[in-house]
Chain A
């Protein structure tokens, strides 16, 4: 019998037992829906992270104090697990592979402007920081190298801070007190929005590095150094140069470990990807189990169907259906049942992904390859679990099948 006829027969038989078919498909539907949801959200959040990391800045390199924990002996004699403005100065002076360098000094505390107050983070950076991080000024100006040298008490506000402290007025030129130190607002940053981890990136105040270091922090150590390599090809060279310069500045012995850690975007992406990857794997295996259970459900219902339709099989065999025709008929029915479940699963999975995604602020990415793989896989599940019942049907003896009651 030709394929389209077989499909028609299968569809008719499925339609005859709508409720039963739906219940049978449920396992497959749940399995496929969870796979699709997981993958869509997993890939979506990964893409979000990648986008965010890219927006951190071009060719960004970040240096943090500390050594990579290898379980062995850490930093030798004379190593200081800290970064200072001297390190920054050394890099600015000697580095050839770096375009921009900026210290990052952070302090947090209460900020008061008139009757309003707000708790936030004050980050001390150099004027290069804007270029390193692809930040933009919305109004006013950013501070200059001179402001840094003179430890000028000027501040550039993130959007959130500006809105909180100056809800009704233009903050430029206004005064505010950060931990009782008076500052003058000279600019407002362009809006950045939320990060994938849910942090408000606009809840920030920028001030010159030295100002924060000496007026709000301990006057000695800084938290990070951000730098930009001269090009993406120069990333490795820049990393090497950074290492050499900082090791020499820190006077580390040749056999001593680095007392700082350099990260670039790819590493940051990898770290984030690893987490989502593990999560996806875990949830996918749960989905796999439910697909297995769904497949067994299909096998069960196909066995019932073969028994119920023994007489029909007998009639078909009697008028000349080959055993293979019967096998194909039941295999196709199982495959269609499974594929139909898969289709419903894909549809509900995508809806769920979009729903959950918009709820959590993560984008859902539809990967056609994943959808295709899922379709093929559910088809395979149907054929695999439908094979035993179908073979049972095909092996029936015509006269026994006709006599079956």
Chain B
């Protein structure tokens, strides 16, 4: 595996608002290998979401090139990009982006219904399974406005997981979760990561970043820090301690 799964070179993203030009990303180069767990940090407005949108093939860079599994993304047409988003990438949005007036189950099922390559035999069963993994097995028929912020966030995570993509891009996936649920999700992520899934997670919590194997920090659209975390924390172990504490207190 010489070539990285994700490879960005000299990516710029410029938003022009009338006369003012905002350089959200300024010549960013970055490679991510399959099976990595990358945490992206940076202050608000540093370009994290902009980077994620480009990685997720939702947005195109102003300049620079992006290769996904060796394929230059700029050569793909709209249909090919749609298929790529559907089968290769699980995306968790910062603002959840769930379909309103649609149950959690239907929301999670949706990516499978758009999958033309691998016809899924029982999309509903797969969706239920994904929701159970994020601890929402009892909220299948709730619509987004009947769910708490943290629950909506977990539905969004389940929707990203359900297609078994090789890579998950999550923008603040634990931003609305308490420490216990955060650990649940991180444990799930780490388990998937051990099975070969690539994870790119944006977070502003240093605590969360400690569970990743690599830490990237952005500032004003440029790479400030990119270092390997030799000893990531184990979410499963921390979870055991936490629940142990809880049961100790209860006793």
Q: State in angstroms the CA–CA spacing of A320 and B114 once bound together.
A: 6
With contacts A1-B113, A319-B91 known, is A402 near B85, CB below 8 A? no
Contact with A along B85-107 (1 / 0, CB 8 A): 11100010100011111000000
What A residues does B91 contact at CB under 8 A? 318-319
Kindly name the residue among A311, A315, A317 whose own CB sees the greatest number of chain B CB atoms within 10 A.
A315
- Cross-chain contact B79 with A316 (CB below 8 angstroms): no
B interface residues, tally (CB under 8 Å): 26
Within 8 A of A (CB), among B179-212: none
Which partner residue on chain A sits nearest B96 by CB separation? A315
Instruction: Please give the distance in Å from B164's CB to the nearest CB on chain A.
Output: 13
B111 interfacial by beta-carbon distance below 8 Å = yes
Give the total number of A-B pairs whose CB atoms are below 8 A apart: 63
Contact with B along A306-337 (1 / 0, CB 8 A): 00000110111111111111000000000000
- Cross-chain contact A322 with B114 (CB below 8 angstroms): yes
What B residues does A325 contact at CB under 8 A? 82, 114
Which partner residue on chain A sits nearest B78 by CB separation? A323
- Cross-chain contact B97 with A402 (CB below 8 angstroms): yes
Instruction: Please give the distance in Å from B112's CB to the nearest CB on chain A.
Output: 9
Within 8 A of B (CB), among A275-315: 311-312, 314-315
- Cross-chain contact A319 with B100 (CB below 8 angstroms): no
With contacts A16-B101, A323-B82, A324-B79 known, is A316 near B114, CB below 8 A? yes
- Cross-chain contact A318 with B87 (CB below 8 angstroms): no
Instruction: Please give the distance in Å from B84's CB to the nearest CB on chain A.
Output: 8
What A residues does B110 contact at CB under 8 A? 316, 319
- Contacting residue for A320 out of B53, B85, B97, B99, CB 8 A: B85
A398 interfacial by beta-carbon distance below 8 Å = yes
Instruction: Please give the distance in Å from A375's CB to the nearest CB on chain B.
Output: 28
- Cross-chain contact B85 with A319 (CB below 8 angstroms): yes
Instruction: Please give the distance in Å from B109's CB to the nearest CB on chain A.
Output: 9
What B residues does A311 contact at CB under 8 A? 97
- Cross-chain contact B114 with A399 (CB below 8 angstroms): no
Instruction: Please give the distance in Å from A300's CB to the nearest CB on chain B.
Output: 23
Which partner residue on chain B sits nearest A12 by CB separation? B101
Instruction: Please give the distance in Å from B104's CB to the nearest CB on chain A.
Output: 14
Which partner residue on chain A sits nearest B84 by CB separation? A320
- Cross-chain contact A320 with B58 (CB below 8 angstroms): no
- Cross-chain contact A318 with B58 (CB below 8 angstroms): yes
- Contacting residue for B99 out of A312, A317, A398, A399, CB 8 A: A312
- Cross-chain contact A399 with B159 (CB below 8 angstroms): no
Which partner residue on chain B sits nearest A317 by CB separation? B82
- Contacting residue for A315 out of B79, B97, B116, CB 8 A: B97
What B residues does A316 contact at CB under 8 A? 99, 110, 114
What A residues does B113 contact at CB under 8 A? 1-2, 5
Instruction: Please give the distance in Å from B31's CB to the nearest CB on chain A.
Output: 23
Q: State in angstroms the CA–CA spacing of A23 and B112 once bound together.
A: 35
What A residues does B83 contact at CB under 8 A? 320, 322
B69 interfacial by beta-carbon distance below 8 Å = no
- Contacting residue for A323 out of B79, B85, B97, B100, CB 8 A: B79
Which B residues are within 8 Å of any A CB, using their own CB?
Answer: 53, 56, 58-59, 78-79, 82-83, 85-87, 91, 93, 97-101, 110-111, 113-116, 159, 163
Which A residues are within 8 Å of any B CB, using their own CB?
Answer: 1-2, 5, 16, 311-312, 314-325, 398-399, 402
Further contacts, 14 of them, CB under 8 A, given A316-B99, A318-B91, A320-B115: A312-B99, A312-B100, A317-B82, A319-B114, A320-B85, A320-B87, A320-B114, A321-B82, A321-B114, A322-B82, A325-B82, A398-B59, A399-B59, A402-B97
The 3 A-B residue pairs with the shortest CB-CB distance, nearest first, are: A320-B86, A399-B59, A322-B82
